[in-house]
């Protein structure tokens, strides 16, 4: 009788374990029940690459952003078989592809061509905008910014939400990577997209997946993927230390209009007349110059894109009094419309620092960093209330890497080279 009971117990345990294994496998299969598309986006006339174009599914919240070379990778859920993929870029007419057609092309590299808007002549370099032929004179640049502030509550999601991001942090010293990390982050905004003195206080997150190139991981909390908190702090919609909220400190000029995501937007150029650590949003040291562009929808007055280029004052190294540092920064932010409300879509920050020896009067080395933050998914229901502050992402955590996850996740392909 005792032997029979023992055999039954062993059989029961094995059966339960087997059932759990099957269930786990089914869940993993459901997680990865998708097909992957890859390709590049170019101008239909000039064949030039279209950098940072948006690709998103019409009827769900999943999206990706192309890299600077126009390349993209998108893991499309099979449940979206009857959906449509929208491809959009500033100054171009949007294109639409049926997901059912995409699945037939999943093993091919897609070549997508976008047609430039006829009246759009906006040059997106760091310093110059060529005015559009289609100018609007009804509102001044300052009046447009004022309306953008007045409509923040209507345009941007004001309730708690979860948002998953892909984040890449890369630092190169004289052409050699010292940091090259990627992570999938799940974040929780307890108050929605609302401005504050310190945007980091209202954001929480966890690193769900992590990977790095060999010998290129930083253990410093603020470096590598831990820099995520800095990117959020500098977000123009979350921090009140920028042109949107300190308009009187800026020279503003309306450059005309163009198209973004199928809607007409104002193009406003700004120059900071007296840049400091607060109005630039970049922290110490203060800036020598700070200028850029802000793009605002003509109907809703939603801010859909922001660019700022900053040249900082020289600073001394904390580690060596003989070293002085010259730095410049470029930040780009875009926002996506989900069910009538806007969320963060993409953030890119580039930092270029040159180190000089004061005594020897020579250049020592150049340190370049690039940070890419891309929205993967957004949830406004069945939320996960995360408690870890985003400025403590790497403190006391075990960073996990699942190779299968990275094979099937939405991410931004690496650029062919790090350009500044």
Residue 8 near residue 16 (C-beta atoms within 8 A): no
d(CA 305, CA 122): 13
Give the count of beta carbons closer than 10 Å to the beta carbon of residue 11.
10
d(CA 28, CA 213): 25
d(CA 23, CA 366): 52
User: What pLDDT, on the 0 to 100 scale, is given for residue 293?
Assistant: 96
φ, ψ dihedrals at 14, nearest 5°: -60, -40
Q: Which residues pair with 323 in a beta bridge?
A: 357
User: What pLDDT, on the 0 to 100 scale, is given for residue 384?
Assistant: 95
Could you tell me where the DSSP H helices lie in 203-345? Answer: 228-233, 277-280
d(CA 283, CA 269): 22
User: What pLDDT, on the 0 to 100 scale, is given for residue 19?
Assistant: 44
Q: What is the pLDDT of residues 376-413, one digit of tens each?
A: 999 999 999 999 999 899 888 888 788 888 877 888 88
Q: What is the pLDDT of residues 278-327, one digit of tens each?
A: 777 777 788 999 999 999 999 999 999 999 999 999 998 877 889 999 99
Residue 275 near residue 310 (C-beta atoms within 8 A): yes
Q: Please give the structure tokens belonging to residue 39.
A: 């390709």
Q: Which residues pair with 350 in a beta bridge?
A: 330, 370
Residue 256 near residue 132 (C-beta atoms within 8 A): yes
- 379 burial (CB, 10 Å; 0-12 / 13-18 / 19+) is middle
Splitting the chain (420 residues) into consecutive groups of 10 residues, what average pLDDT does each group show?
48 44 40 80 94 90 91 89 90 91 86 83 41 58 96 95 95 89 94 84 90 74 88 86 90 93 93 86 83 96 95 87 92 92 94 93 93 94 94 85 82 74
Question: What's the residue count for the chain?
Answer: 420
Q: Which residues pair with 381 in a beta bridge?
A: none
Q: Which residues pair with 98 in a beta bridge?
A: 84
- Sequence ranges of the domains in the chain: 34-114, 141-408
The CATH number of domain 34-114, selected from 3.10.130.10, 2.60.40.1120, 3.30.230.10, 1.25.40.10: 2.60.40.1120
Q: Please give the structure tokens belonging to residue 213.
A: 């190139």
User: What pLDDT, on the 0 to 100 scale, is given for residue 330?
Assistant: 94
Selection from 409, 380, 377, 370 nearest residue 52 by Cα: 370
């Amino acid at each position: 009788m005792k032997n029979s009971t023992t055999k039954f117990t062993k059989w029961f345990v094995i059966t339960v374990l087997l059932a759990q294994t099957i269930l786990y496998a089914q869940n993993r299969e459901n997680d990865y029940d998708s097909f992957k598309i890859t390709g590049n986006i170019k101008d239909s006339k000039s064949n030039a690459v279209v950098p940072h174009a948006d690709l998103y599914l019409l009827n769900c919240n999943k999206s990706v952003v192309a890299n600077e070379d126009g390349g993209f990778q998108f893991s499309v859920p099979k449940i979206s078989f009857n959906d449509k993929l929208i491809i959009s870029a500033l100054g171009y007419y949007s294109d639409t592809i049926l997901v059912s057609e995409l699945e037939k092309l999943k093993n091919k590299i897609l070549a997508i061509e976008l047609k430039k808007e006829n009246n759009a002549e906006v040059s997106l370099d760091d310093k110059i905008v060529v005015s559009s032929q289609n100018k609007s004179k009804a509102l001044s640049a300052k009046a447009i910014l004022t309306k953008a502030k007045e409509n923040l509550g209507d345009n941007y999601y004001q309730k708690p939400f979860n948002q998953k991001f892909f984040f890449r942090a890369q630092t190169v010293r004289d052409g050699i990577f010292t940091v090259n990390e990627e992570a999938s982050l799940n974040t929780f905004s307890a108050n929605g997209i609302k401005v504050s003195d310190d945007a980091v206080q209202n954001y929480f997150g966890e690193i769900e997946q992590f990977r790095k190139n060999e010998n290129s991981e930083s253990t410093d909390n603020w470096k590598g993927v831990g820099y995520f908190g800095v990117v959020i702090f500098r977000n123009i919609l979350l921090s009140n230390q920028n042109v949107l909220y300190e308009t009187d400190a800026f020279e503003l000029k309306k450059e005309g209009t163009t198209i973004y995501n199928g809607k007409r937007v104002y193009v406003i150029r700004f120059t900071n007349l007296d840049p400091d650590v607060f109005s630039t949003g970049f922290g110490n040291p203060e800036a020598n110059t700070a200028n850029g562009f802000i793009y605002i929808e003509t109907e809703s007055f939603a801010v859909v894109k922001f660019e700022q280029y900053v040249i900082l004052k020289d600073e001394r190294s904390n580690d060596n009094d003989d070293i002085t540092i010259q730095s410049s920064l470029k930040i780009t932010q875009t926002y996506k419309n989900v069910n009538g409300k806007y969320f963060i879509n993409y953030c890119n920050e580039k930092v270029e620092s040159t180190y000089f020896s004061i005594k020897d009067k020579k250049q020592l080395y150049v340190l370049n960093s690039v940070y890419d933050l891309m929205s993967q998914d957004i949830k406004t229901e069945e939320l996960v209330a995360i408690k870890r502050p985003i400025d403590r992402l790497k403190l006391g955590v075990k960073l996990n890497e699942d190779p299968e996850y990275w094979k099937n996740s939405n991410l931004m392909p690496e650029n062919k080279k790090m350009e500044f």
